[in-house]
Structure 1
Amino acid sequence: MKKTLVSALLCSVISLPALATEVNIQTSMGNIRVDLNEKAAPNTVKNFLRYVDEGFYEGLIFHRVIRGFMVQGGGFDKDLERQQTHHAIAYEGDNGLKNYRGTLAMARTSDPNSATSQFFINHNDNAFLNHGARGGAGYTVFGKVISGLEVVDKIANVPTRNIGPYQNVPTTPVIIEKVTRVD
């Protein structure tokens, strides 16, 4: 009898789903709550949470905003001063997650292994950003918006302009006030 009870308890514990890691992105336009997918992109989530835990994102802006495409932030302050980051991380874009509307993905240069702190939220389904879509690496998706998509829509619709080498910069800064883990 004890063996059966212990076996049943172990089976129920083993089959429990992993706890989701959620963060709240508090912006000057409202809150965006995101569920991070540690199973599909463990190193990317770990990297993002390192910046979150350090308070890195506080006071940074969404510096690139393109309606119908995406909103990007996490690298510049309101004066467009680039922030010092940790080393780049390895590409995890072949994890099966797609760049659908409301998903969170890592920004990078043309080098797939160059993502650091910058991220973007897809404003539309962007299949051309998926792994293999253009014959190679895509952009690593590592989370999805679970509330606050209307805030993403508001951000995506702000007027933008070009400032020096930077394009699609909101005319009024959209500030990331704080990013915190949700318990």
Structure 2
Amino acid sequence: MTRVLTALVLAAALAAPAAAQTPSLKNPASLNEKAPATYKVRLDTTAGPVVIQVTRDWSPNGADRFYNLVKNGFYDDVRFFRVLHGFMAQGGMHGDPAIQRLWGRNNIPDDPVKQSNKRGFVTFAKTGAPNSRSTQIFINYGDNGNLDGQGFSPFGQVTSGMEAVDKFESYGRNNVPDQGLITAEGNAYLQRDYPKLTVIKKATIEK
């Protein structure tokens, strides 16, 4: 009997690490799957559907991060909070402050810029610091080649639904939501003070 119990305890101990690594938004390190060479993501937004074709070779770290976030529901019920028509539409901060705090500091390494930030191309936002991309993405409205030299590396392109992107709600350049308050309060802040923002109702990887 003692040997049986010992074996069971050992088996449970060996199984524990695998269980701890079950993919979860609450455990960023667990979302590390390599993305396919190409894949499509459908964003069902309140302005209409948008389909993004992702090419991993363009920006491998960016493509992998986007794949894992979409696959695990990160972008569901997320707003495009900074929409500047003629320039770009930016979103990707989670509506749950606890999740956003986890991911906001979970950055990925920079990728070389292989494609230009042309209209319809999709890119991760970043600060001026190296390796500062996390979850925020933007869709270019215009040909923003000036961003290329700043290290903004496109990972995908809108292949259908750009007319929906053109309808994303904007509060103007001088009334952009405060990212600190989004981190602190999540969707509650955005729903209260910016109720018309375009929402990603669901993001899915298309088969």
| Shorter-chain TM-score range | 0.7 to 0.9
The 2-side partners of 1:147 and 1:81 are apart by 33
Give the TM-score normalised by structure 1.
Answer: 0.76
The 2-side partners of 1:180 and 1:52 are apart by 6
* Pairing of 1:157-176 with structure 2 (within 5 A): 158-160=170-172, 162=175, 165=178, 172-176=196-200
Equivalent of 2:41 in 14, 23, 47: 23
Residue aligning to 2:6: none
Q: 2:87 aligned with 1:87, yes or no?
A: no
**Structure 2 unmatched runs, 5+:** 1-35, 180-189
Residue aligning to 2:153: 140
The 2-side partners of 1:54 and 1:63 are apart by 21
Return structure 1 stretches of 4+ with deviation > 3 angstroms: 79-82, 157-161, 163-166
SS at match of 1:75: coil
Residue aligning to 2:185: none
The 1-side partners of 2:86 and 2:98 are apart by 26
* Identity within the alignment, %: 33
> Alignment RMSD, CA only?
2.5
Give the counterpart letter for 1:89 in structure 2.
Answer: I
1:82–1:126 Cα change, 3 Å: farther
The 1-side partners of 2:39 and 2:143 are apart by 23
1:165–1:174 Cα change, 3 Å: same
Q: Tell me the CA shift for residue 109 of structure 1.
A: 1.4
The 1-side partners of 2:152 and 2:107 are apart by 14
Q: 2:162 aligned with 1:149, yes or no?
A: yes
Give the TM-score normalised by structure 2.
Answer: 0.68
Residue aligning to 2:122: 104
**Structure 1 unmatched runs, 5+:** 1-17
Larger Rg: 2
Residue aligning to 2:68: 50
Q: 2:134 aligned with 1:116, yes or no?
A: yes
The 1-side partners of 2:205 and 2:125 are apart by 21
Whichever structure has more helix as a proportion of its residues is 2
Deviation track 1:83-120 (CA, whole Å, cap 9, x = no partner) reads 2317201111x242110000000001111311011100
Deviation track 1:42-72 (CA, whole Å, cap 9, x = no partner) reads 2211111111111011111001010100000
Q: Tell me the CA shift for residue 159 of structure 1.
A: 4.0
Aligned partners of 1:103 and 1:143 also within 8 Å: yes
1:61–1:80 Cα change, 3 Å: farther
Give the counterpart letter for 1:98 in structure 2.
Answer: S
Whichever structure has more strand as a proportion of its residues is 1
